[in-house]
Amino acid sequence: MADVRTPTTTRTLRRILLAVAIGSLVAVALGVYGGLHQAAGYSIDIGGFSSTQSVKSWLTTLAVLLGVVQLISAMMIYGRIPGPTWAGTLHRWSGRLAVLCVVPVVVHCLYALGFQTYEPRVLIHALLGCFFFGAFTAKMLLLTYKDLPGWVLPVAGGALFCGLVGLWLTSSFWFFTTSGFTF
């Protein structure tokens, strides 16, 4: 069980702030790129689905389900709920699979659509997309440090999970409620 009471030294605080700053730069860079990039209107599609929106919605839904696995396995790792000894492995692999699910989605969104603001849902979705990948970057950088206080990774993971759920609500949930559960 991780100790959430580890004191934060100046060196540790600098590391945390550096990771957050780099994550913030990634978020801003994605937003700027999405805003300046001339949207192509198309990208590579995955076969077997009726539309690009459908494949994106299902991949994001799978990523959210894997995010729930991440949340539960993290609670096992931190001793909040009982779990198997392989909870850490489950946590790492469910995270890797979730990232693999969202990469084609973000590539399509950035390349084909860009950063759009034509309605509040779309603006919130674009902002959450930038936030999500900024938070992902920060968490991956934080994972490289071994002397962090026990609260840092759960906060970073919680921000990442909230961003992912927000993305799902503003895209997949919206798509499923307006178009149905199509493949």
Transcribe 6-35 into DSSP letters: PPPPHHHHHHHHHHHHHHHHHHHHHHHHHH
d(CA 97, CA 73): 14
Check whether 46 has a pLDDT greater than 70: no
Return the amino acid letter for 64.
V
Cα dihedral 145, 87, 7, 157 sign:
positive
Q: What is the largest CA-CA distance in the chain?
A: 53
Model pLDDT for residues 58-98, shown as the tens digit of each residue: 999 999 999 999 999 999 999 999 999 999 999 999 999 99
6 in Cβ contact with 149 (< 8 Å): yes
Structure tokens at 142: 């934080």
| In the chain, where the domains are located | 10-41+50-179
Q: What's residue 176's pLDDT?
A: 93
- What is the chain's mean pLDDT, rounded? 89
How confident is the model over 29-47, as a mean pLDDT?
80
d(CA 66, CA 64): 5
d(CA 147, CA 165): 29
Tell me the three state secondary structure of residue 91.
Answer: helix
Model pLDDT for residues 112-141, shown as the tens digit of each residue: 888 888 999 999 999 999 999 999 999 999
d(CA 92, CA 169): 24
Check whether 182 has a pLDDT greater than 80: no
Check whether 1 has a pLDDT greater than 50: no
- Mean pLDDT lowest among 2-11, 26-35, 106-115, 167-176: 2-11
